[in-house]
């Protein structure tokens, strides 16, 4: 009995030592989107400082395909040792399970949330020639002519599609969805479609530059960079549509590692220089705790699932 107890203590000590020594080799960070997209930009901005804190390299891998599912599956099946992490957007975790009839993994079971790193919203933009010049006029026009107005998106089931369906559901209106293989915003510029929901990173320049008319922003408050464009919630009470980015680890990753990753990334993105650079491209820094982020993930999973079911959206 004493021998078994001593062996147990020795094993526990080894595990504790291995965890405390983390990381003792490079950490792989999977981003399931191409280089140059906003998740990629954020991590390439933040990881050098975090890597310096850890004393280990953070190797970014862009593993694209299947609306983010391919890269995410790499992390879902990786060892839960803290050496493979995922940085993704809310649609992969909270929308894809409702869009695809056969998911290769269950996001709520396969991952442990680490931290919501940044948040951004969408700008609802209209072609300059559209008779409706504000949200009230747009809703009235859509109700008077159901299905006549068109809106473009980057594809069936993507964030820009689902957030627009949230708007239609909350206003009791119908519009024709036009999924695009070319940039959805460009179709508004050309007049091919009437409207699109586009992320702040592209929507703010579009509205400020006069190429399209900004009708509303999807977060709770107006943007400092677009003070004359109201929050959609000012016309549609309770409307809120965001596109957060977050860090995840394989389920079973030691809590001490999860907590450290969350705290270290939060510390880096809170620095004035990083906050300024992210704000310049329309991103709000968050850096919350694993518990706080887990609550958001569960809530958004239920919220976007309902929107998708109500709109009858399927990606396969």
CB atoms within 10 A of CB 202: 19
**Mapped to the 3 state alphabet, what secondary structure does 49-110 carry?**
HHHHHHCCCEEEEECCCHHHHHHHHHHHCCCCCCCEEEEEEHHHHHHHHHHCCCCCCCHHHH
Residue whose entry in the numeric block shows the structure tokens 């862009």: 62
* Mean pLDDT of the 209-220 span: 95
Would the pLDDT of 176 be above 60? Answer: yes
Residue whose entry in the numeric block shows the structure tokens 């072609």: 127
Give the model's confidence band at 201: pLDDT under 50 very low, under 70 low, under 90 confident, else very high. Answer: confident
Contact, 242 vs 121, CB < 8 A? yes
Domain with CATH 3.40.190.150 in the chain: 24-119+244-311
Per-residue pLDDT at 224: 86
14-18, 165-169, 214-218: least confident range:
14-18
Alpha-helical (H) ranges within 100-254 are 107-110, 135-144, 159-171, 184-190, 200-209
* Mean pLDDT of the 310-315 span: 92
Per-residue pLDDT at 70: 95
CA proximity to 245, closest of 108, 93, 47, 28: 93
Per-residue pLDDT at 238: 96
Per-residue pLDDT at 14: 46
Report which DSSP code applies to 114.
E
Per-residue pLDDT at 11: 46
CATH class (in words) of the domain with range 24-119+244-311: alpha beta
Contact, 284 vs 269, CB < 8 A? no
Domain with CATH 3.40.190.10 in the chain: 122-234
Q: What percent of the chain has pLDDT over 70?
A: 94
pLDDT in tens, 275-310: 999 998 889 999 999 999 999 999 999 999 999 999
Residue whose entry in the numeric block shows the structure tokens 């943007």: 223
Cα separation, 72 vs 275, whole angstroms: 27
Per-residue pLDDT at 280: 86
Would the pLDDT of 5 be above 70? Answer: no
pLDDT in tens, 98-152: 999 989 999 999 999 999 999 999 999 999 999 999 999 999 999 999 999 999 9
Q: What angle do CA 233, 239, 244 make, to 5 degrees?
A: 115
Cα separation, 285 vs 266, whole angstroms: 9
Give the model's confidence band at 256: pLDDT under 50 very low, under 70 low, under 90 confident, else very high. Answer: very high
13-17, 200-204, 279-283: least confident range:
13-17
- Please provide the average confidence, as pLDDT, over all residues in the chain: 92
Per-residue pLDDT at 19: 47
Would the pLDDT of 315 be above 90? Answer: no
Per-residue pLDDT at 37: 87
The arrangement of secondary structure in 122-234, i.e. its CATH architecture, is 3-Layer(aba) Sandwich (3.40)
Distances (CA, A) of 213 to 132, 133, 140, 204: 10, 8, 17, 10
Per-residue pLDDT at 266: 98
Per-residue pLDDT at 20: 56
- How much is the pTM? 0.87
CA proximity to 177, closest of 191, 190, 189, 194: 194
- List 216's β-bridge partners, or say none: 124
Would the pLDDT of 218 be above 90? Answer: yes
Cα separation, 279 vs 276, whole angstroms: 5
């Amino acid at each position: 009995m004493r021998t078994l107890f001593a062996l147990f203590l020795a094993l526990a000590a080894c595990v504790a030592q291995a965890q405390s020594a983390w990381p003792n080799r490079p950490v792989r960070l999977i981003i399931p989107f191409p280089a140059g997209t906003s998740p990629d930009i954020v991590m390439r901005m933040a990881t050098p400082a975090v890597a310096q804190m850890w004393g280990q390299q953070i190797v970014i891998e862009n593993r694209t395909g299947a609306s983010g599912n391919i890269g995410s599956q790499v992390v879902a099946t990786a060892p839960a040792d803290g050496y493979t992490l995922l940085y993704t957007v809310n649609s992969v975790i909270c929308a894809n399970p409702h869009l695809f009839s056969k998911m290769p993994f269950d996001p709520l079971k396969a991952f442990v949330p680490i931290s919501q790193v940044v948040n951004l919203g969408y700008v609802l933009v209209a072609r300059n020639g559209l008779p409706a010049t504000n949200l009230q006029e747009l809703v009235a026009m859509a109700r008077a002519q159901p299905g006549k107005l068109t809106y473009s998106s980057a594809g069936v089931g993507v964030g820009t599609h689902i957030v627009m369906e949230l708007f239609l559901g909350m206003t009791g209106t119908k519009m024709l969805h036009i999924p695009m293989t070319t940039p959805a915003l460009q179709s508004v510029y050309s007049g091919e479609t009437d409207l699109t929901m586009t992320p702040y990173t592209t929507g703010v320049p579009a509205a400020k530059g006069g190429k399209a008319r900004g009708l509303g922003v999807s977060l709770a408050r107006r943007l400092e960079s677009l003070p004359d464009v109201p929050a959609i919630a000012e016309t549609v009470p309770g409307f809120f549509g965001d596109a957060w980015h977050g860090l995840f680890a394989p389920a079973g990753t030691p809590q001490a590692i999860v907590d450290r990753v969350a705290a270290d990334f939060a510390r880096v993105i809170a620095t004035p220089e990083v906050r300024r650079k992210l704000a310049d491209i329309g991103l709000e820094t968050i850096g919350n705790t694993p518990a706080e982020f887990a609550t958001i993930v569960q809530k958004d999973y239920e919220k976007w699932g309902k929107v998708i079911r109500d709109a009858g959206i399927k990606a396969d």
